[in-house]
């Protein structure tokens, strides 16, 4: 096998790739190519930077006639521990149960961090028990669609909670800024579970919301095949603690209310960033935690063609039939010292209702695998600090009539590290009220959101208005008074700045949906260099613990903590 790299136009074919291989192959092997060869992508990225011809940059692995292409469903585990080796697809069972402890490790939560922590533990032979308050992926899908169609919300099975976690209803973006050998393991696992192998070589891999339920279900089946157990509708209540060590959990059935005490040698907390009651329960048990920065803003929606026209420029008309819907990533530092940036940009997607509790409106975005929707959307977020949380509580925490907000205001008095949750709750409830108490999202056109004295871009191209994508509905209403002034002014400055980078980003008829408040957790569950809480046996992981920001980074965080648990178990240690 050898590697060839080159550049090809956007409308290249497989014949063009093979010709590139013949032209660029090392001189020593060129004669052998005439006997036949096969190839596969190693890396593929579209270069649309200004000042150079639009092209794909390719790296391909080339296999001569006597060499065989590796199977697509191989999962490589970059660990030194002999209990964990190579798993092909989901056919191989786990290793024999270790004798160092017959207690099962417990994983709380079946989002990316929990799934991959459980997968590693199962592969190492430790037969984890996973509890998830929501439902299996396809049952959860039914509940989410019912909410979007009728406004009937299931607080345990929704966009935030259930098999796959919040990432199941996203674009399934897998690109990450972290560096880790575990990234390859995560991507290979998804491919073995049914994802397109394009995610192994694309510079910006994604699976798509329409494919994620199948993929996540198959990863869970891998865990079960290797001896792990998954219990759905299981709502975490409290840790069982003895002598500053975790020795199990208490949970109840979301349907029957029946309580269960479950013993376990370790507990992996993969609770997700929206498990607000869990944060409070953990705070009551003195689990070490602290407030951390988060971001709050809105979700903006443009016609996808507007974004494509700007990003691809003069190449757009020539190649529009073969070019993918263009993403974007924008950031800006504002004179007030804050930053505004795009987040979870969904090409060809839709804005979705992402509430997990009654009486709140939360926005998010998702795209299907083909990204073929009419609109592009992205969160526009402003950084918010723990100092901001405290100021917000001081301003809004008194004389509250809403029972939920009043409860959180009282909790923050005892546990100030939870102040960011009060801020989220307050803004989400305010948007619910402003939207008419029907889960309709408050929406403004960009021309109504921006300062009146500001001149906006006038596009030479007209775009059809195909209506709002958000369900169960929207209400056009001024929401500026809901968000803190510094968020509004930072967003306005950022939109003006972004319009200098993407032509017509300040398109007057672009829609802004409020409120985008769940991009990350405002709480971090503290852990040491061995990934363990000061409460021995407790391993906080993923976005909910404050250590990840997306599907891949959360999955890697779960894997690394499971690796540490296995290392300690193999050494006969606990705590």
- Convert the pLDDT of each residue in 111-122 to its tens digit: 999 999 999 999
Handedness of CA 130, 135, 138, 139 (dihedral sign): positive
The 8-class DSSP code of residue 408 comes to H
pLDDT-based confidence at 490, cuts 50/70/90? very high
Q: Pull the structure tokens for residue 423.
A: 């801020």
> Do the strands 37-47 and 2-8 form a parallel or antiparallel pair, or are they unpaired?
unpaired
> Do the strands 474-476 and 441-445 form a parallel or antiparallel pair, or are they unpaired?
parallel
Q: Residue 151 pLDDT more than 60?
A: yes
> Do the strands 294-303 and 289-291 form a parallel or antiparallel pair, or are they unpaired?
unpaired
Share of the chain above pLDDT 70, in %: 95
**What is the per-residue pLDDT across 222-263, written as a single tens digit (0 to 9) for each?**
999 999 999 999 999 999 999 999 999 999 999 999 999 999
Q: What are phi and psi of 59, to 5 degrees?
A: -125, 130
- 93-107, 196-210, 272-286, 536-550: which range is least confident on average? 93-107
Give the CATH number of domain 75-82+103-275+525-570.
Answer: 3.50.50.60
Long-range contacts made by residues 97-100, C-beta under 8 angstroms, separation at least 24?
Answer: 97/125, 97/126, 97/127, 97/227, 98/124, 98/125, 98/126, 98/569, 98/570, 100/569, 100/570, 100/572
The C-alpha angle 321, 325, 331, rounded to 5 degrees, equals 145
Residue 218: Cβ within 10 Å count = 18
| pLDDT given for residue 102 in this prediction | 55
Query: Whose structure tokens read 């190649």?
Result: 319
The C-alpha angle 231, 561, 164, rounded to 5 degrees, equals 40
Closest CA to 255 of 284, 226, 282, 235: 235
CA dist 567 and 562 (Å) reads: 9
- Please check whether the two domains, 2-64 and 75-82+103-275+525-570, share a CATH topology: no
Residue 102: Cβ within 10 Å count = 10
The 8-class DSSP code of residue 199 comes to G
Q: Residue 97 pLDDT more than 80?
A: no
Q: Around 96, how many Cα atoms within 13 Å sit in the side-chain half-sphere?
A: 2
In the chain, the N- to C-terminal Cα span, in Å, equals: 46
| pLDDT given for residue 513 in this prediction | 99
**What is the per-residue pLDDT across 28-66, written as a single tens digit (0 to 9) for each?**
999 999 999 999 999 999 999 888 899 999 999 999 999
Would you call 73 exposed, middle or buried from its count of C-beta atoms within 10 A (0-12, 13-18, 19+)? middle
| pLDDT given for residue 171 in this prediction | 84
Q: Around 466, how many Cα atoms within 13 Å sit in the side-chain half-sphere?
A: 15
Q: Residue 90 pLDDT more than 80?
A: no
- 58-72, 150-164, 288-302: which range is least confident on average? 58-72
Alpha helices of 177-270 — where are they, by DSSP H?
182-192, 212-225
Mean pLDDT across the chain, nearest whole number? 94
Instruction: Give the CATH fold of the 2-64 domain.
Output: Dna Ligase; domain 1 (3.30.1490)
The mean per-residue pLDDT over the stretch 420-433 comes to 99
Q: Pull the structure tokens for residue 520.
A: 């990350």
> Do the strands 74-75 and 234-242 form a parallel or antiparallel pair, or are they unpaired?
unpaired
Handedness of CA 304, 309, 315, 317 (dihedral sign): positive
Q: Are 548 and 103 in contact (CB under 8 A)?
A: no
- 87-91, 230-234, 319-323, 359-363: which range is least confident on average? 87-91
| Domain spans, the chain | 2-64, 75-82+103-275+525-570, 294-516
Q: Residue 460 pLDDT more than 90?
A: no
pTM: 0.94
Residues composing the chain? 575
| pLDDT given for residue 544 in this prediction | 97
> CB-based contacts of 27: which residues, under 8 Å, 6+ apart?
none
E-only strand ranges, 78-125? 87-88, 106-108
Q: Are 251 and 377 in contact (CB under 8 A)?
A: no
**What is the per-residue pLDDT across 18-27, written as a single tens digit (0 to 9) for each?**
999 999 999 9
Residue 143: Cβ within 10 Å count = 20
Q: Pull the structure tokens for residue 133.
A: 């308050």
Alpha helices of 163-275 — where are they, by DSSP H?
182-192, 212-225
The mean per-residue pLDDT over the stretch 466-491 comes to 98
Q: Pull the structure tokens for residue 525.
A: 């569950």
């Amino acid at each position: 096998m050898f590697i060839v790299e080159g550049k090809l136009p956007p409308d290249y074919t497989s014949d063009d790739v093979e010709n590139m291989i013949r032209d660029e192959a090392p001189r020593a092997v060129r004669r052998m190519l005439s006997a036949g060869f096969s190839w596969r992508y190693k890396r593929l990225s579209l270069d649309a930077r200004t000042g150079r011809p639009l092209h794909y940059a390719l790296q391909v692995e080339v296999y001569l006639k006597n060499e065989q292409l590796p199977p697509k469903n191989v999962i490589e585990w970059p660990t030194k521990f002999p209990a964990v080796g190579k798993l092909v697809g989901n056919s191989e069972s786990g290793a024999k149960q270790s004798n160092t402890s017959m207690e099962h490790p417990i994983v709380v939560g079946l989002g990316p961090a929990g799934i991959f922590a459980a997968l590693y533990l199962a592969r190492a032979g430790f037969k984890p028990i996973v509890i998830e308050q929501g439902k299996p992926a396809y049952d959860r899908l039914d509940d989410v669609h019912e909410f979007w169609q009728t406004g009937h919300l299931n607080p345990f099975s929704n966009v935030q909670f259930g098999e796959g976690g919040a990432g199941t209803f996203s674009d399934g973006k897998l690109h990450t800024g972290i560096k880790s050998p575990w990234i390859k393991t995560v991507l290979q696992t998804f491919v073995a579970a049914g994802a397109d192998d394009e995610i192994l070589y694309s510079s910006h891999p994604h699976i798509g919301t329409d494919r994620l339920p199948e993929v996540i279900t198959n990863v869970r089946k891998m865990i079960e095949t290797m001896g792990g157990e998954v219990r759905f509708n299981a709502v975490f209540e409290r840790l069982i603690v003895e002598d500053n060590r975790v020795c199990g959990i208490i949970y109840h059935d979301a349907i029957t209310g029946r309580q269960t005490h479950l013993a376990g040698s370790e507990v992996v907390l993969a609770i997700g960033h929206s498990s607000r009651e869990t944060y409070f329960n953990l705070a009551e048990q003195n689990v070490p935690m602290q407030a951390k920065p988060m971001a709050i803003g809105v979700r903006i929606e443009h016609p996808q063609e507007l974004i494509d026209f700007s990003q691809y420029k003069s190449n757009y008309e020539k190649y529009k039939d073969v070019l993918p819907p263009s993403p974007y990533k924008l950031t800006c530092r504002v004179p007030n010292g804050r930053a505004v940036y795009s987040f979870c940009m969904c090409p060809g997607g839709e804005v979705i209702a992402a509430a997990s509790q009654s009486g709140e409106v939360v926005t998010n975005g998702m795209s299907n695998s083909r990204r073929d929707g009419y609109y592009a959307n992205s969160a526009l977020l402003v950084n918010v600090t723990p100092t901001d949380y405290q100021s917000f509580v001081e301003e809004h925490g008194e004389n509250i009539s809403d029972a939920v907000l009043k409860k959180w205001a009282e909790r923050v008095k005892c546990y100030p590290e939870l102040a960011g949750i009060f801020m989220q709750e307050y803004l989400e409830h305010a948007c619910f009220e402003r939207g008419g108490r029907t889960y309709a999202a408050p929406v403004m056109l960009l021309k109504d959101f921006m300062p009146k004295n500001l001149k906006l871009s006038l596009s030479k191209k007209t775009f059809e208005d195909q209506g709002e994508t958000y369900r169960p509905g929207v209400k056009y209403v001024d929401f500026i008074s809901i968000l803190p002034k510094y968020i509004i002014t930072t967003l306005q400055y950022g939109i003006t700045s972004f319009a200098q980078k993407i032509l017509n980003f300040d398109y007057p008829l672009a829609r802004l949906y409020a409120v985008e408040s769940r991009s990350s957790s405002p709480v971090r569950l503290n852990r040491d260099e061995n990934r363990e809480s000061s409460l021995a046996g407790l391993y906080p992981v993923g976005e909910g613990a404050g250590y990840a920001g997306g599907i891949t980074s959360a999955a890697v965080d779960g894997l690394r903590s499971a690796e540490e648990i296995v290392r300690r178990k193999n050494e006969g240690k606990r705590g």
